[in-house]
Amino acid sequence: MQEQIASLKADISQQISAAGDMAALEDVRVATLGKKGSVSGLMKGLGGMSPDERKVAGPLLNSLKVDVADEIAARKSVLEAAALEERLASERVDVSLPVMAHPSGSIHPVSQVMDEIAEIFASLGFDVAEGPDLETDFHNFTALNIPAEHPARQDHDTFYLKPDANGDRKVLRTHTSPVQIRTMLNETPPIRIIAPGRTYRSDSDATHTPMFHQVEGLVIDKDTHLGHLKGTLEAFLKAFFEVDNVTLRLRPSYFPFTEPSMEVDVQCSFDGGNVKIGDGNDWLEILGSGMVNPRVLEHCNLDPTVYQGFAFGCGIDRLAMLKYGMNDLRAFFDSDLRWLRHYGFRALDLPTLAGGFSR
């Protein structure tokens, strides 16, 4: 029995060593340790032996079974390591290679639309202002006349950080309006700025994401009025959608930081599921606007009896969807190369008013 087991072990060890891949090793395991395997067959024979024979054969067979299992496990580790090395070698990217003659990268639609908006407002005499994504309660809420009980301040709508040593909680800005506050605190009117950038709210569906992009505009001067606001928005929308004419409808609304406040609709048509701006008998809500609330001016140390202004804001992602035909906002952040290749813009294809924006 001892010679038979030693011979079987040597044969099995040779088979294990000869297994060149995981499939071959699995065949060896089944042929030896499986229900009908050679080692399993010998183990089943213990029941027909006498007690004296089992005392001799039992330890030998158990030792054989353990040794075979250990050799299979060791060989499996070697084969897995070799497979991993082969995969790493085949999938390796050599970052030291020169740039491809024909690069395949593209500009994300959000970046492209931001550049288009900046180009348009620069032609209207606006500067681009920026601010931090992480804001204080004062800049994000209080200075904008948003009361303590306002729903926008609640945890289910807004992302807060843990309180600091003073008990104050920073907030991921819910709009780019804090940039307006910082500008009014640091600059002397006249002020003409746009503030594009990332914003954050606890919301997610086909038309909302926890992180999205906004652009807001602000004009502060001594003789600014509602007509200036409407004219600015008309000029912007005509240039952005590349149409000769737009018709706007201003509907009364409420925003804590403007008074009066207005939702702005643009005349359009829905033809075959596509939105066409500039004609038709339908209306599409496109942005919010209004005259800056005097209390906001006071928070920024500006005299509301001397200065007044207007502000407006809209979603950059929404503008991109309307202009370039996307129907799901979540795809903007999926990093799907197929989507990026379809909707992306050529690298360094910078938008200009003279050259036109459309591809």
Residue 205 is predicted with a pLDDT of: 66
Omega prior to 98 cis, within 30 of 0: no
Residue 263 is predicted with a pLDDT of: 95
Residue 356 is predicted with a pLDDT of: 65
Residue 178 is predicted with a pLDDT of: 94
Residue 153 is predicted with a pLDDT of: 75
- Strand partners of residue 269: 276
Residue 254 is predicted with a pLDDT of: 93
Residue 310 is predicted with a pLDDT of: 97
CA dihedral 140, 144, 148, 153 (to 10 degrees): -40
Residue 221 is predicted with a pLDDT of: 96
Looking only at the bridges linking them, the beta strands covering 191-200 and 127-128 are parallel
**pLDDT tens digits, the chain, 359 residues: what are they?**
677 778 888 888 888 888 888 889 888 888 888 888 888 888 888 778 788 777 877 788 788 888 888 998 999 999 999 989 988 888 877 778 676 666 677 889 999 999 999 999 999 999 999 999 999 999 999 999 998 877 777 777 788 888 888 878 899 999 999 999 999 999 999 999 999 999 998 876 666 678 889 999 999 999 999 999 999 999 999 999 989 899 999 999 999 999 999 999 999 888 777 788 888 889 999 999 999 999 999 999 999 999 999 999 999 998 998 888 888 788 888 888 888 888 888 777 777 776 666 65
Residue 49 is predicted with a pLDDT of: 79
Strands (E), the chain: 106-107, 127-128, 134-135, 171-172, 191-200, 211-221, 248-255, 258-271, 274-277, 282-292, 308-315, 345-346
Residue spans per domain, the chain? 2-91, 108-346
Burial 273-283 (b: 16+ CB within 10 A, else e): eebebbeeeee
DSSP string for 136-164:
-HHHHTGGGT--TT-GGGSTTTS-BPPP-
CATH 3.30.930.10 fits 108-346, yes or no: yes
